[in-house]
């Protein structure tokens, strides 16, 4: 009796414990079916293990069959170039070498006590007719001397000054931006045609403030729609401005591009 009482799943023990109680479900049924549940779980685990081992074995047999059926292609590839087509024109000849310029060897004289003149310097007339070099060679008449600087007459042409977009010190209207706006409002004249037609808008100008503060190269980037008179008036006012404070780069006055919008608005 004691051994059976210590076994939780023993039917006789469960009958005594659950006597007069609900035995249709709950703990009574769980204890009663415990052995069957454990057996079922162990059987499923053993079956899954056997299935896995069988699958692995079958896949191994299949891979061996595929390897046995693989045949290496040992076909020889012919790398011999195709025969030359006699009807095809021959390739063009290589370009001729550059023309050779006629020069006369002229090296600085070296003073020696026992010097023997083996290679006398060329006469002055010869030097005037040809070019001086470290070797003497005959030219083919097609070589042209390209000047490295200047226009070929010994005069070096002056390069146009660079125009900057952004500099360390940007150009400025005398008195600043507020004074510039006052100047534009005071001097601008709204075209009569634009007033009558009710035209308004902004004219975007681009110009250059050079190193002297002068305004040059005034152009219209985007004009007032349908009003060319407004664009011309904006150009006139900008050109009439006094000299600006020039822009500076590295402490030197330079030419700088400047963009300016001018608003035409009816009130």
Torsion of CA 236, 241, 243, 249, to 10 degrees: -80
Q: How confident is the model at residue 96 (pLDDT cuts 50, 70, 90)?
A: confident
Rounded CA separation 52/47 (Å)? 9
Query: 3-state class of 180 per DSSP?
Result: helix
Q: How confident is the model at residue 70 (pLDDT cuts 50, 70, 90)?
A: very low
DSSP H/E element including 179: helix 177-187
Taking only the tens place, the pLDDT of each residue in 208-238 is 999 999 999 999 999 999 889 999 999 999 9
Greater model confidence, 248 or 96: 248
Q: 140-144, long-range: CB within 8 Å, 24+ apart, which pairs?
A: 140/99, 140/100, 141/99, 142/99, 143/98, 143/99, 143/100, 143/101, 143/102, 144/99
Taking only the tens place, the pLDDT of each residue in 41-64 is 888 999 899 898 888 888 877 655
Contact between 194 and 264 under an 8 Å Cβ cutoff? The reply is yes
Residue 240, pLDDT > 90, answer: yes
Taking only the tens place, the pLDDT of each residue in 107-156 is 566 666 665 555 566 666 665 566 656 666 666 655 555 555 555 555 55
Residue 86, pLDDT > 90, answer: no
What's the rounded mean pLDDT across residues 162-179?
92
Quote the pLDDT of residue 243: 94
Quote the pLDDT of residue 217: 93
pTM of the model: 0.43
Taking only the tens place, the pLDDT of each residue in 13-29 is 666 666 666 666 666 66
**Domains, the chain, with CATH or none:** 2-32 (no CATH), 163-264 (3.30.2420.10)
């Amino acid at each position: 009796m004691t051994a059976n009482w210590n076994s939780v799943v023993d039917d006789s023990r469960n009958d005594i414990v659950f006597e007069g109680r609900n035995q249709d479900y709950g703990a009574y049924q769980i204890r009663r079916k415990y052995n069957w549940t454990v057996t079922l779980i162990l059987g499923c685990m053993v079956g899954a293990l056997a299935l896995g081992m069988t699958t692995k074995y079958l896949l191994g047999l299949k891979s061996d069959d595929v390897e046995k059926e693989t045949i290496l292609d040992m076909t020889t590839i012919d790398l011999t170039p195709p025969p030359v087509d006699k009807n095809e024109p021959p390739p063009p000849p290589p370009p001729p070498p550059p023309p050779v310029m006629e020069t006369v060897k002229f090296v600085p004289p070296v003073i020696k006590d026992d010097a023997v003149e083996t290679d006398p310097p060329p006469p002055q007339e010869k030097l005037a007719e040809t070019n001086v070099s470290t070797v003497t060679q005959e030219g083919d008449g097609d070589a042209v001397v390209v000047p490295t600087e200047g226009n070929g007459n010994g005069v070096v042409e002056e390069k146009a000054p660079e125009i900057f977009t952004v500099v360390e010190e940007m150009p400025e209207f005398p008195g600043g931006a507020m004074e510039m706006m006052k100047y534009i409002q005071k001097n601008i004249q709204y075209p009569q045609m634009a007033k009558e037609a009710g035209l308004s808008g902004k004219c975007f100008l681009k110009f250059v403030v050079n190193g002297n503060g002068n305004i040059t190269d005034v152009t219209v980037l985007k004009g007032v729609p349908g009003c060319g008179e407004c664009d011309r008036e904006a150009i006139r006012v900008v050109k009439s401005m006094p000299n600006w404070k020039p822009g500076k780069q590295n402490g030197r006055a330079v030419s700088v591009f400047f963009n300016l919008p001018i608003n035409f608005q009816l009130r």
